Amino acid sequence: MIGGGLAGTLVAAALNSRFDEIIVLERDALPAGAELRKCVPQAKHAHLLLSGGARVIDALIPGFLARVYAEGAHDLNAPGDLVAMTTAGWMPRRTGAQFLVGASRPLIDWVARDIVAKDPRVQVRDESPVTELIGDAKRVRGVRGPDGVIEADLVVDAAGRGTRAPKWLAELGAGAVRTEVIDSGLAYATRIFQAPAAARRDFPVITMQADSRGPGPGRGGAVQPIEGGRWIVTVSGTRGGEPPTTVDGYTDFVRSGPRHPILGDLIEHAEPLTEIYTSRSTANQRHRYDELELPEGFVALGDSVAAFNPVYGHGMSVAAHGAHVLRSVLAAGGSTRRAQRVICGIGVGAWDMAAGQDVHFPGVRGASPTRRDLARRAFVDRMSRTAVSRTRVYDAMVGAFMLAKPMSSLMAPGVLLDVLRGPIAPALTEPPLTADERRRAGL
């Protein structure tokens, strides 16, 4: 296993009943608890674990959800505990069938790793970078690590955005891997706050989606409750509208940069706990392994295959589905080549959603909007406006976004009929916080 992050941990859990020994090689030093680590810069920012991925993780790692909640994570109903501003405006709230896990990324990673690493068949070796694949164009037989060659029946690349597998595969004669990149230039700025005492539990996620329909850069933001009675407050801006990196600049941006001042109102009554964290590692990047006949004995998944703009929240869940598919295909006697094709297919919907939105922002790099992109955006706009007042459309959108239902569910006849009929009420003009939530937050 190349990579000891969440994706690698999930693969170890998925395959621990199939192999006598699983060796996880991680180049970074792994912390002993729920702490930040150098090679996961995105972990400092808001991370929502969606129900479509959380259920799969809990199936792969029994007890994961119970443990993460016991450590202080928030069990948030979707859309009941989601105060969301889409391009159509603020969406209504009501109890739904999906959920979000409100926790920091370090907590999610640590809980998963702590459970999986207790299996005697799993060895986790940190500070152990892999330098090449061993094998040829027909089969991968192992890797070279800091202690020499490690032979393996299966090598899984879960190294993430920084994967070197395309280079290594080319060196084995497997061919050149085509890579697609769509980069809106989105930059993140985040600060962690201690929430007001009365708002440390049972408080919703508040999120504002950046809008590409205006003449300037897109700007958005989110407040996410996490363990310890804290809020992660992340704001973002696409190329030309990036949030400042100073405390004063960040604070001003939170108050006036996103599409509504609610985030600024909230932090007025919260205690800052950290400096300003920033990140620009947000490009959509996809390695087209599905276009090659890869060597047997090798599979890539998670961000090593497709890394999405993290603002859409799909990375962890797609990795979980990939690990589950790998186990299922191998258990059914399928080849690693078949597993790779299916894994690539899992990420298509999330890619279309993320890249299909980002391609419209000013200054995007890697692609320009096509007629298909423009038609898709027009359809998504109408669907979003309709979802405000038609429950069937709203439920379909929530299920698809949470990766709990396939993207094809958005094309169900009843959903399409409602979209054609269009909205029957306008979007809300203000965030739908309850009077009690406003009081507890000091608003």
| HEC letters along 49-89 | EEHHHHHHHHHHCCCHHHHHHHCCCEEEEECCCEEEEECCE
- Confidence (pLDDT) at 213: 85
SS3 helix, strand, coil % of the chain, rounded to 5?
40, 20, 40
Residues 6+ apart with CB under 8 A from 306: 284, 285, 286, 287, 318, 344, 347, 350, 351
- Residue pointed to by tokens 């690990």: 323
Instruction: Please write the tens of the pLDDT for every residue from 192-242.
Output: 999 999 999 999 999 999 998 888 899 999 999 999 999 999 999 999 999
* pTM of the predicted protein model: 0.95
Burial (0-12, 13-18, 19+ Cβ within 10 Å), 402? buried
Model confidence at 129: pLDDT above 90: yes
- Confidence (pLDDT) at 216: 87
Contact 270, 228 (CB under 8 A): no
Apex 296 CA angle, 291 and 302, nearest 5: 60
Apex 174 CA angle, 339 and 124, nearest 5: 55
CA 385 to mean position of chain CA atoms:
25
- Confidence (pLDDT) at 43: 82
- Confidence (pLDDT) at 41: 65
